[in-house]
Every structure is written in structure tokens, then in C-alpha cells.
């Protein structure tokens, strides 16, 4: 489980019932929900929560650096609460499922000094793509 709720409490983020529900929906490992998915899940806990409130809360969480927006292949943005642990993403190219992965070694190891063109690299984003087990099984069943 991620520590999103603990981080927000430590920051003194005003925890209204709506904000709490959004944070609870996002809390956990491997959570990469769209805003619409966050809204749908939040409505199960708090039926009167509006879409605008969810979008506003997500925007605040991103601005605070407590949640990261993840965009893949022109699909809807997804929100990742794993903002404080360095990680990369494994994305299913068929269904869009995203999982956090923590490979060992430096992601810069494959980028030779002459390929950096004098840049001081401060951040590396690596995305692994392939088929998740469900989509791979589905594809195998069709062939």
C-alpha cells in the first residue's frame, strides 16, 4: 500500500470528505487510474462527489507533487500515487494496464557520455511495453 494518505496528513492538506475519498481511491501500489475511474470509484464511497471536485483534487495532488500524471500512447492521463519512489512503468500495448517496476541499476547506464550532448540529466523516464498476461492469453487463443 502506498503512503499517500500519510504524506498528505503530514503536509497538512485540508482533508475534506471529498479530498479524503479521492486520496483513498488513489492510495495503493500499482494504482494508475484515469480521472473518470477515480470519479466512479469515489462515487461508490461518496455518491454526491462531483466530477469537477475529483478533477480539482487531482490537479492539487499533482501540483503538490504527491501524484504523478502518466500519459501513454495518447490514452487518457492516469494518476500515479507512487510519486516519491523512483520507478518505471510496464504498459500493456493492448489494454493499457500499467504496472510499476523497479529495475536494478542506473537507467543512465545505457546512455554514453557522448550521447548526452553535454546535458546534465536530472530525470529519466523509461517505459517498457508489451502484452499483459490476459491480453497475451487472449491473443494466443485467437491464433
pLDDT, tens digit (0-9, with 9 covering 90-100), for 84-129: 888 889 999 998 889 999 888 777 777 888 888 989 888 888 889 9
Q: Which domain holds residue 28?
A: 4-80
Q: By C-alpha distance, which of 17, 19, 102 is closest to 4?
A: 19
Is the pLDDT assigned to residue 44 strictly greater than 90? yes
Percent of the chain whose pLDDT exceeds 70 = 99
* 132 and 93 both lie in a single domain: yes
| Chosen domain end from 28, 55, 80 | 80
Q: What is the pTM of this model?
A: 0.80
Q: What is the CATH number of the domain that holds 115?
A: 3.30.1490.190
- Residue 1's pLDDT band, with cuts at 50, 70 and 90, is very low
- Number of folded domains that form the chain: 2
* 74 and 101 both lie in a single domain: no
Cα–Cα distances in Å, from 1 out to 95, 107, 117, 134? 24, 25, 40, 24
Element spanning 40, H or E: helix 35-45
Cα–Cα distances in Å, from 73 out to 34, 70, 108? 14, 10, 23
* 74 and 10 both lie in a single domain: yes
Q: Radius of gyration of the chain from Cα atoms? A: 18
* 27 and 49 both lie in a single domain: yes
Amino acid at each position: 500500500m502506498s503512503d499517500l494518505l500519510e504524506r498528505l496528513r503530514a503536509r497538512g492538506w485540508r482533508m475534506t470528505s471529498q479530498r479524503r475519498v479521492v486520496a483513498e481511491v488513489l492510495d495503493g501500489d500499482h494504482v494508475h487510474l484515469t480521472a473518470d475511474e477515480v470519479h466512479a470509484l469515489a462515487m461508490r464511497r461518496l455518491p454526491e462527489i462531483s466530477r469537477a471536485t475529483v478533477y480539482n483534487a487531482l490537479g492539487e495532488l499533482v501540483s503538490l507533487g504527491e501524484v504523478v500524471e502518466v500519459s501513454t500512447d495518447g490514452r487518457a492521463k492516469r494518476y500515479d500515487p507512487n510519486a516519491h519512489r523512483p520507478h518505471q512503468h510496464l504498459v500493456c500495448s493492448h489494454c493499457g494496464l500499467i504496472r510499476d517496476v523497479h529495475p536494478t541499476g542506473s537507467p543512465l547506464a545505457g546512455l554514453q557520455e557522448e550521447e548526452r550532448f553535454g546535458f546534465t540529466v536530472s530525470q529519466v523516464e523509461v517505459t517498457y511495453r508489451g502484452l499483459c498476461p490476459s491480453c497475451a492469453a487472449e491473443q494466443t487463443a485467437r491464433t
